Amino acid sequence: MTLLLEGKRAFISGGTRGIGAALCEVFAREGADVAFNYHSSDSLAEEVKKKIEAHGRRALSYKISVTDRYGMKHIAREIKDSWGAINVLVNNAAVNKPDNFATTTDKSWDWVVDTNVNSLFAVTKPFYKQMIRQKEGNILNITSVGAIRSLPTSVHYATSKAAMIGFTKCLSREAANFGITVNAIAAGIFDTDLGQTLPARLLQMHDFWVSKGRLGKPSELAEFAAFMTSDRNSFMNGEIIIVDGGAVT
């Protein structure tokens, strides 16, 4: 049996840490060439590139904000000129801050919403237009169970992740006309830097609340994401799949 992503060209936003780094490595292992962006750490970007290349795949990294619309258009053209058009896109980059709504500042609200919501437009559109021309492609958005359930997480984060669900469902209808699928994973709490920004009381409750009794490993989500973006997952569209270790609802 061939690899899940044999011959695919993927772009993963936020590719140097946590789930993003795991996505890059697993996608490369499954046969994809992987490009990714990152915010600050050149050393982490080099580590991820080496892991991709260790699987015999090509790697490209870009130090650029996911909210930079002009920059993302440039990156999409550059990748297309080097490899051909991207046919797998994962919107993974996100930020959070442990705020109470009553004391959330304008700056905090704008930072979270701009990064988590406006990036969907900046990152997706240039690659989506390439997919339209190819008449094929797969888009996966990493949202959160905090967008679905009443959890003690920050309101701005839950709001931004709920927006991603609407983005997924609505775009999936339009995209299907061009042979493109759009789905999302609603992630539970994973052992990442972002996961550790959650309130301490929530993390303390987590082992009792989740039937698996632990935080998720980034690689566990990445393994499922590789299947979701593969041609073997051929009849799912506009779905939000919860991967949370069996949380009590």
As annotated, the active-site residues are 157
Between the alpha carbon of residue 107 and those of residues 99, 112, 116, the distances in Å are 12, 9, 14
* Distance from C-alpha of 153 to C-alpha of 59, rounded to nearest angstrom: 35
C-alpha closest to that of 125 among 65, 66, 165? 66
Classify 164 as helix, strand or coil: helix
CB 210 within 8 A of CB 145: no
Residue found under tokens 């705020």:
99
Give the CB-side neighbour count of residue 36, counting CA atoms within 13 A. Answer: 38
* Distance from C-alpha of 129 to C-alpha of 50, rounded to nearest angstrom: 30
What is the residue-wise DSSP string for 111-155? HHHIIIIIHHHHHHHHHHHHHHHHT-EEEEEEEEGGGTS--SS-H
